[in-house]
Amino acid sequence: MPSVIPPNNVPENSTEIVIIGSGLAGLAAGQLLREAGHNALILDKGRRAGGRMSTRRADGFLFNHGAQFVTARSAAFSAVCARAVQAGQLAKWPLAGREDAFSGTPAMRGLAEFMAEGLTIRQQADVKNITRLKPIPGPYSGPLKLQLADGTVITCRHLIVTCPAPQTSRLLSEAAPELSACADPVIYSPCWAVMAGFPAPIDLPRTLIQTPEGPISWATYEPLRPGASQTAAVTLQATANFSKTHLEAEPADICDQLLADFAEQQNISLPHPSYSAAHRWRYAKVEQACPQDELFHISDTDSSIFVAGDWHPAQGDDGRFGKGTRAEDAFLSGLRAAKQLNAQLA
Ligand SMILES: Cc1cc2nc3c(=O)[nH]c(=O)nc-3n(C[C@H](O)[C@H](O)[C@H](O)COP(=O)(O)OP(=O)(O)OC[C@H]3O[C@@H](n4cnc5c(N)ncnc54)[C@H](O)[C@@H]3O)c2cc1C
């Protein structure tokens, strides 16, 4: 089990290493550091670990409204996925149309929960501001001071920031303007996701839909996932174009429109859902990642700051850089930051 620290109960306000973000990048970094004998404190503003690897349970339904599946090409991510399969949190999912696709069983967040084992994580910890505690000569020296939304102040010497690029840029504008600037050119597309639960199973002519033209880019009938119950839950994800055009629309209108489009695509008449909700991912998928050779850390003898996340893809063991579009890119990026920090601490 991860050691989850409840809000407002930080045992120590000073720690050696802080990681901001309990998505795949932050968890990968946390695990590598833990295996190397370092205990990092992970802070995340969300309620549960996983970031965009997310699952919602509501009214007896289960929806995976973030990443739909993961693919593993690198040895490191393949090894984690294999261990998660053994632990029963992940399973091969050929329905996704790719041989190397894995689904949660049935929760995608299960992979994050598996990776969070043994880590110290404080959820609902919203970092608002990062500064140097005592600016001393040398551009990168001095402990870092993190100000949280609830007023808590945490100081640390080493920091790994794994938020999406726009949030990373804002957080590091004062403490590390060079890293903040790396994040600026990164472009994300948004994504509207609709979750609808129905009182009885639905007979769908097509099991799973992927239509790049939109408005729906992806639809999952959740009972088709490994380990899923038969409760009739449908998750719809809109295309980037639709999501950009309707970014500020009302969630209820998005639900109505995407459910109508889904019924039309399937050529069925849908019953009225007993549960429906829309979630807007403002930073869903990377459209333009950071250049490969871009800076990912600034370090001095006693202090360092790293950035990681899908937007800053690292090299896999096959020598290739990802495009930032897959969860594995986030994982490898977190691993790169932690390896570098571990080497510095040796
Ligand atoms: C709708 C959708 C569908 C997708 N489909 C797929 C797919 O099928 N396959 C695939 O491989 N990838 C998919 N992805 C992409 C994949 O989910 C991401 O690439 C990956 O999960 C990113 O991980 P990360 O750790 O870089 O960032 P995140 O998961 O975003 O984690 C960052 C964390 O930082 C936290 N945070 C942000 N700001 C602060 C702050 N100020 N203080 C504290 N915490 C903060 C956030 O709460 C979050 O938990 C999809 C993404 C979306 C949104």
Lowest mean pLDDT among 9-18, 179-188, 232-241: 9-18
Q: Same domain for 131 and 36? A: yes
> Is residue 263 domain-shared with residue 136, that is, in the same domain?
no
Residue 296 sits in which domain range?
Answer: 3-49+116-186+289-345
Strand segments (E) across the chain: 3-4, 17-20, 41-43, 56-58, 61-63, 70-71, 90-92, 101-104, 120-122, 127-132, 144-148, 153-156, 158-161, 187-198, 208-210, 216-221, 232-238, 275-288, 297-299, 304-307
Instruction: Of 119, 146, 140, 143, give the one whose Cα is nearest residue 50.
Output: 119
- Let me know whether 107 and 20 are in one domain: no
**Shortest-distance atom of ligand 1 to CA 52:** 29
Q: Which among 185, 147, 139, 146 has a CA at the least distance from the CA of 165?
A: 185
Kindly report, residue by residue over 145-164, the tens digit of the pLDDT. Answer: 999 999 999 999 999 999 99
Using the predicted structure, report yes or no on whether residue 3 has a pLDDT greater than 70. no
Section 98-127 average pLDDT: 96
Best mutation site among 52, 93, 168, 288 for ligand 1, i.e. most ligand atoms within 8 A of its Cβ?
52
Q: Looking at the predicted structure, is the pLDDT value of residue 173 above 60?
A: yes
DSSP symbols for 122-145: E-S--EEEEEESS--SSTT-S-EE
pLDDT at 167: 98
pLDDT at 302: 83
How many domains is the chain built from? 2
Is pLDDT at 6 greater than 70 in this prediction?
A: no
Which residues, listed in sequence order, are joined to residue 144 by a DSSP beta bridge? 132, 156
Please give the share of the chain, as a percent, with pLDDT higher than 70.
92
Decide if pLDDT at 10 tops 60: no
pLDDT at 18 over 90: yes
- How much distance in Å is there from the Cα of 314 to the middle of ligand 1? 16
Question: Could you read off the pLDDT of 278-329 as tens digits, one per residue?
Answer: 999 999 999 999 988 889 999 887 889 999 999 999 988 888 888 999 999 9
Whole-number pLDDT of residue 60:
96
| Phi, psi angles (nearest 5°) of residue 60 | 85, 0
Same domain, 62 and 105: yes
Structure confidence at residue 31 (pLDDT): 98
Contacts of 287 (CB under 8 A, 6+ apart): 187, 188, 189, 240
Banded pLDDT at 28 (limits 50, 70, 90): very high
Give the other-Cβ count within 10 Å of 86's Cβ: 10
Among 43, 163, 296, the mutation site with the greatest number of ligand 1 atoms within 8 A of its Cβ is 163
Q: Is 21 in the pocket of ligand 1 (CB under 6 A)?
A: yes
Could you say which of 287, 305, 321 is where a domain stops? 287
For residue 24, the ligand 1 atom closest to its alpha carbon is 25
Tell me the mean pLDDT in the region 80-92. 97
Tell which atom from ligand 1 comes closest to the C-alpha of 96.
8
pLDDT reading at 175 higher than 60 = yes
Tell me, yes or no, whether 337 and 302 share the same domain.
yes
CB of 61 within 8 A of CB of 275?
A: yes
Residue 206: give its domain's CATH number: 3.90.660.10
Instruction: Say if residue 60 is in the same domain as residue 98.
Output: yes
Cβ–ligand 1 distance for 123 under 6 Å, the answer no
Ligand 1 contact via 43 beta carbon (within 6 Å):
yes
What CATH number does the domain containing 339 carry? 3.50.50.60
How many whole angstroms from 229 Cα to the centroid of ligand 1? Answer: 26
* 273 — pLDDT class (breaks 50, 70, 90): very high
Q: What is the pLDDT of residue 11?
A: 42
Residues 110 and 127 in one domain: no
SS3 76: helix
What's the whole-model pTM score? 0.94
Which pLDDT score is estimated for 276?
98
Do 320 and 13 form a contact (C-beta atoms < 8 A)? Answer: no
In this structure, the answer to whether residues 31 and 133 fall within a common structural domain is yes
* pLDDT reading at 95 higher than 50: yes
- Asked if residue 189 has its Cβ within 6 Å of ligand 1, the reply is no
Calculate mean pLDDT across residues 77-101.
93
pLDDT of residue 8: 43
Residue 143 has pLDDT above 90, yes or no: no
Q: Of 260, 287, 314, which one is at a domain's C-terminal end?
A: 287
Q: For the packed helices 75-86 and 327-345, what is the interaxial angle rounded to 10 degrees? A: 110
One domain for residues 244 and 160? no
Higher pLDDT, 172 or 96: 172
Please report the pLDDT score of residue 210 as a whole number.
Answer: 65
Instruction: Provide, rounded to the nearest whole percent, the portion of the chain with pLDDT above 90.
Output: 79
Same domain, 219 and 239: yes
139: pLDDT confidence band, cut at 50, 70 and 90?
low
Beta strands in 25-126 (DSSP E): 41-43, 56-58, 61-63, 70-71, 90-92, 101-104, 120-122
Ligand 1 pocket member 72 (CB < 6 A): no
β pairing state of 158-161 and 17-20: parallel
Q: What is the pLDDT of residue 133?
A: 77
Q: What is the mean pLDDT of the chain?
A: 91
pLDDT for residue 9 is more than 50: no
Q: Are residues 299 and 283 in the same domain?
A: no
Confidence of residue 224 (pLDDT cuts 50, 70, 90): very high
Q: What mean pLDDT is predicted for residues 20-41?
A: 97
Q: Is 42 in the pocket of ligand 1 (CB under 6 A)?
A: no
Distance (Å) from CA 52 to ligand 1 centroid: 3
Among the candidates 287, 303, 337, a domain finishes at 287
The pair of three-digit structure tokens given for residue 296, joined into one six-digit string:
């990912």
Strands 101-104 and 90-92: antiparallel
- Is the same domain home to 65 and 207? yes
